[in-house]
């Protein structure tokens, strides 16, 4: 954001006309150039305009730095699925919405609101945001356009339209030629979800392995857990039961460490279904009890844990 944008923002906010602010400082035409061109205006003219508006430039520049840092953390926490932290940062950014519209990350912010609304389950806001991004997409630069295509794919995955999401992702890979490494892991993860849900299990394995390595390298453990779930399910559907068992075990350990009880329930349940040894199965069933005893997770997750345990016992002919 340049100084002219700050001047325009506060002039508009205070309801001052251009000719009023320009009076005794410069011509209205020159003020218009200053507000719209970062290279216009000498220091003396700029300082006179700032003084008339009562703007502390140092304070405003610090505010810009702080908001930019907050946004970077917001985007990072979305990718790392830190919902509580991203919600706090979202509240700060939303309270400065008008100011953010002047900043160079404005479009990026608008795009990243889509995955934020998905992971935080704010679905009404999601639809409005998706429609907004479609409307303003012509103003996106190349990097923003690529990001929007990836985010669009996740939107269609949320809608369970895996074929559409897959087509978008494959087209994006062709366009980028795998140059945009910062998004490559997310593309592979999204493709893995598509392939798995379209019953293309071998392709799901390949994409998940790439995404798994990517998330491991950046210590994105929540996404590592989700990758393990896709890997294990794909192995199971390909009748690679030994690989599936080993991966479900890893999923159980990882989700326990993360405190992700939904993934933990899934891992225990699927691992139990593969068990033929009754002793090992009995031990597996006890794993459901720990989160229940600790009263951890929300009520729906606890209920899911109880029902999963009952279902597993019934399918395994264990009567208690």
Q: What percent of the chain has pLDDT over 90?
A: 58
Task: Quote the CA–CA distance of 131 and 129 in Å, as a whole number.
Answer: 5
Chain position carrying tokens 């990026």:
108
Please give the CATH number for the structural domain made up of 3-55.
1.10.260.40
Q: Which residues contact 19 (CB under 8 A, 6 or more apart)?
A: 28
Q: In the predicted model, what is the mean pLDDT of residues 62-88? A: 93
Chain position carrying tokens 């994006």:
172
Q: What is the mean pLDDT of the chain?
A: 89
The predicted structure's pLDDT at residue 133: 97
For the chain, the structural domain boundaries read: 3-55, 61-140, 250-320
Which of 280, 284, 242 is closest to 267 using CA atoms? 284
Q: In the predicted model, what is the mean pLDDT of residues 147-155? A: 96
For the ranges 138-152, 166-180, 302-316, the maximum mean pLDDT occurs at 138-152
Q: In the predicted model, what is the mean pLDDT of residues 121-139? A: 96
User: What is the tens place of the pLDDT at every residue in 27-57?
Assistant: 888 888 887 876 667 778 888 888 888 888 7
8 A C-beta contact, residue 97 and residue 8: no
**pLDDT level of residue 58 (50, 70, 90 thresholds):** confident
Whether pLDDT at 265 is above 80: yes
Whether pLDDT at 107 is above 60: yes
User: What is the tens place of the pLDDT at every residue in 153-181?
Assistant: 999 999 999 999 999 999 998 887 655 55
**pLDDT level of residue 7 (50, 70, 90 thresholds):** confident
Q: Give 3-state DSSP helix, strand, coil % of the chain, rounded to 5.
A: 80, 0, 20
The predicted structure's pLDDT at residue 1: 53
């Amino acid at each position: 954001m340049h100084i002219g944008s700050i001047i325009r923002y506060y002039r508009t906010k205070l309801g001052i006309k251009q000719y009023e602010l320009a009076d005794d400082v410069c011509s209205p035409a020159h003020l218009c150039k200053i507000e719209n061109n970062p290279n216009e205006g000498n220091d003396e003219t700029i300082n006179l305009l700032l003084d008339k508006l009562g703007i502390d430039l140092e304070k405003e520049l610090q505010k810009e730095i702080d908001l930019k840092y907050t946004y970077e953390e917001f985007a990072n926490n979305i990718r790392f699925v830190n919902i509580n932290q991203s919600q706090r940062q979202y509240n700060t950014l939303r309270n400065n919405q008008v100011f953010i519209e002047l900043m160079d990350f404005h479009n990026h912010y608008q795009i990243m609101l889509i995955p934020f609304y998905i992971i935080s389950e704010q679905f009404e806001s999601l639809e409005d945001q998706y429609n907004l991004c479609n409307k303003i997409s012509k103003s996106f630069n190349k990097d923003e356009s690529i990001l929007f295509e990836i985010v669009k794919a996740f939107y269609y995955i949320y809608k369970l339209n895996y074929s559409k999401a897959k087509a978008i992702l494959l087209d994006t890979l062709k366009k980028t030629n795998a140059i945009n490494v910062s998004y490559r892991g997310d593309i592979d993860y999204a493709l893995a979800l598509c392939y798995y849900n379209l019953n293309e299990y071998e392709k799901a394995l390949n994409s998940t392995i790439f995404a798994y390595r990517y998330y491991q390298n950046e210590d994105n453990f929540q996404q590592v857990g989700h990758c393990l779930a896709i890997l294990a399910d794909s192995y199971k559907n390909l009748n690679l039961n030994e690989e599936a068992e080993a991966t479900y075990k890893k999923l159980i350990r990882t989700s326990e460490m993360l405190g992700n009880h939904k993934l933990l329930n899934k891992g225990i349940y699927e691992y139990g279904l593969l068990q033929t040894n009754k002793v090992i199965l009995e031990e597996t069933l006890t794993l459901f009890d720990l989160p229940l005893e600790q009263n951890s997770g929300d009520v729906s997750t606890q209920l899911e844990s109880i029902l999963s345990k009952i279902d597993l016992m019934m399918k395994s002919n264990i009567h208690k």
